[in-house]
């Protein structure tokens, strides 16, 4: 009897009480959630270290805000390639092996950023980090989706996604502790630590039974299956929705630390590094609650309605955050912007894991998610360019428009709550 069997005792106990499910999860479900969550948390840490020391990179490398934004965009472009490549790898050699490889790539590349002595060197290392970054989400989400039973899949993927907020908070703490004493290079050196997670994954995290069963079958080409009418159309919708939502996300959260710390004359809010990083740290609880709560809403009400609601509210709050000048009001509004401006992410893994067939699931998830992320890569550059020419406020209105477009696209996708994976 598998964990996905609706007649199993675990299912019966889960239905008897909405608070019973944490005690009924299997060892495999627990281990895959920890592996995917920790990998995503440490991925977030490595990615956000760049944003948190960006003001000092701009100074030491004599970069314009446009160039700084371009380096952020480069990482996102690389993630599109990494997501697909590691997705294909995960479909061929297994979810856990591909997950380990992606973690090694992004952690080593993050540490290498601390060795950069030119913008071109930094660009190469940010590109490599992006490859691993795209691969980690793809492999971790596929691992969890195929291991967890249908009625709890949204919660599990939401909890995995919520680890990203913890990783960003860890990055802020690393900067507060390491930067004042050792500078920005040492901050990046800390980014190699996630590589240690690979040893635990290798020794203790099992492959999903779904993948093991498919591994015995004859492999077929990925492209023909992606081009099937229903798969192709749903993939286009999901990818476009994801591109708009991540345009809003990356454009906002890559630039918030600099927006808070840049001088008022440059369109920022003039906070010190410590104050700006502390403000950013305050966003973390809002992000975590947004990610984690979405999974529960998605399992209770479906995938589409919560996705639409979160993005609609985010589209209203983001321009308001750009208008407010009072530091206290910025501090109070920040967690709400973070809650709705990030929480929707938890729905995407559930949606795409349930609309794509099993034999190409990881490759299709990786392509859809990271192609959307690659298309959204223009956002950090666009925000930097608009902030240079005008101010941050027009850029924030642009980001709000992207959130709004993604909200309405979500309504066009099929509802997949409760779907058993094949």
Mean of pLDDT values over 347-371: 75
Question: Distance between CA 211 and CA 139 in Å, rounded?
Answer: 12
In the chain, what's the furthest Cα-to-Cα distance?
65
pLDDT of 109: 92
Nearest Cα residue to 266 out of 397, 399, 395, 389: 389
pLDDT beyond 80 at 293: yes
Residue 312 pLDDT class (50, 70, 90 cuts): very high
pLDDT beyond 50 at 353: yes
pLDDT beyond 60 at 303: yes
DSSP string covering 55-119? HHHHHHTT--HHHHHHHHHHHHHHHHHHHHHHHHHHHHH-HHHHHHHHHHHHHHHHHHHTT--SH
Q: Are 318 and 403 in contact (CB under 8 A)?
A: yes
Q: Are 383 and 255 in contact (CB under 8 A)?
A: yes
Owner of token pair 């020794």: 203
Owner of token pair 């860890």: 170
Question: Distance between CA 178 and CA 115 in Å, rounded?
Answer: 16
Residue 378 pLDDT class (50, 70, 90 cuts): confident
Q: Per-residue pLDDT tens for 266-280?
A: 666 666 666 666 777
Question: Distance between CA 295 and CA 306 in Å, rounded?
Answer: 9
SS (HEC) of 29-62? HHHHHHHHHHHHHHHHHHHHHHHHCHHHHHHHCC
Nearest Cα residue to 138 out of 416, 367, 377, 374: 367
Q: Give the orientation angle of helix 392-410 with respect to helix 378-389, to 10 degrees.
A: 150
CA 184 to chain centre: 24
The two three-digit tokens of residue 122, written as one number: 């930094």
pLDDT of 7: 39
Mean pLDDT of the chain: 81
CA 302 to chain centre: 21
Question: Distance between CA 198 and CA 140 in Å, rounded?
Answer: 13
pLDDT of 272: 67
Q: Which residues contact 93 (CB under 8 A, 6 or more apart)?
A: none
**Residue 182 CB: number of other CB atoms within 10 A?**
13
Q: Per-residue pLDDT tens for 200-223?
A: 888 888 888 777 776 665 555 566
- The share of the chain scoring above pLDDT 70, in percent, equals 84
Residue 121 pLDDT class (50, 70, 90 cuts): very high
pLDDT of 218: 53
Question: Distance between CA 46 and CA 194 in Å, rounded?
Answer: 9
pLDDT beyond 80 at 105: yes
Three-state DSSP at 313 gives helix
Beta strands in 264-336 (DSSP E): none
Q: Are 130 and 76 in contact (CB under 8 A)?
A: yes
Question: Distance between CA 133 and CA 80 in Å, rounded?
Answer: 9
Query: What separation, in Å, do the N-terminal and C-terminal C-alpha atoms of the chain show?
Result: 15
Task: Indicate the pTM of the whole model.
Answer: 0.72
Domains of the chain (ranges; CATH) run: 26-207+233-410 (1.20.1250.20)
DSSP string covering 234-264? HHHHHHHHHHHHHHHHHHHHTTHHHHHHS-G
pLDDT of 13: 40
């Amino acid at each position: 009897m598998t964990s996905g069997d609706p007649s199993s005792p675990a299912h019966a106990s889960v239905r008897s009480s909405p608070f019973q499910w944490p005690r009924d999860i299997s060892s495999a479900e627990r281990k895959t959630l920890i592996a995917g969550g920790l990998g995503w948390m440490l991925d977030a840490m490595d990615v956000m270290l760049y944003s948190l020391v960006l003001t000092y990179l701009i100074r030491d490398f004599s970069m314009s805000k446009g160039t700084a934004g371009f380096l952020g965009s480069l990482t996102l472009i690389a993630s599109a390639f990494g997501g697909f490549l590691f997705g294909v790898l995960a479909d061929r050699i297994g979810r856990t092996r591909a997950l380990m490889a992606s973690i090694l790539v992004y952690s080593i590349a993050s540490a290498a950023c601390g060795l950069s002595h030119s913008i071109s060197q930094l660009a190469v290392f940010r590109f490599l980090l992006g490859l691993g970054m795209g691969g980690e989400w793809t492999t971790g989400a596929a691992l969890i989706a195929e291991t967890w039973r249908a009625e709890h899949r949204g919660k599990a993927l939401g909890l995995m996604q919520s680890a990203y907020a913890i990783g960003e908070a860890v990055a802020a703490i690393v900067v507060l502790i390491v930067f004042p004493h050792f500078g920005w290079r040492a901050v990046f050196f800390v980014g190699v630590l996630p590589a240690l997670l690979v040893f635990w994954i290798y020794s203790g995290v099992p492959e999903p039974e779904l993948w093991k069963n498919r591994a015995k079958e004859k492999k077929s080409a990925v492209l023909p299956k992606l081009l099937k009418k229903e798969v192709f159309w749903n993939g286009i919708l999901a990818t476009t929705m994801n591109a708009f939502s991540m345009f809003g996300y990356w454009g906002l959260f890559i630039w918030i630390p600099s927006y808070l710390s840049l001088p008022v004359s440059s369109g920022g809010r003039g906070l010190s590094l410590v104050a700006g990083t502390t403000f950013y740290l305050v966003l973390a609880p809002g992000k975590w609650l947004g990610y984690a709560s979405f999974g529960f809403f998605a399992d209770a009400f479906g995938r589409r309605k919560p996705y639409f609601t979160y993005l609609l509210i985010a589209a209203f709050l983001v321009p308001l955050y750009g208008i407010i000048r009072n530091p206290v009001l910025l501090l109070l509004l920040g967690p709400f912007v973070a809650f709705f401006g990030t929480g929707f992410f938890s729905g995407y893994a559930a949606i795409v894991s349930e609309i794509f067939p099993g034999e190409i699931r990881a490759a299709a998830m990786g392509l859809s998610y990271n192609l959307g992320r690659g298309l959204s890569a223009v956002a950090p550059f666009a925000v930097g360019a608009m902030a240079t020419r005008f101010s941050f406020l027009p850029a924030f209105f642009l980001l709000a428009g992207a959130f709004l477009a993604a909200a309405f696209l979500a309504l066009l996708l099929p509802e997949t709550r409760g779907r058993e994976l094949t």
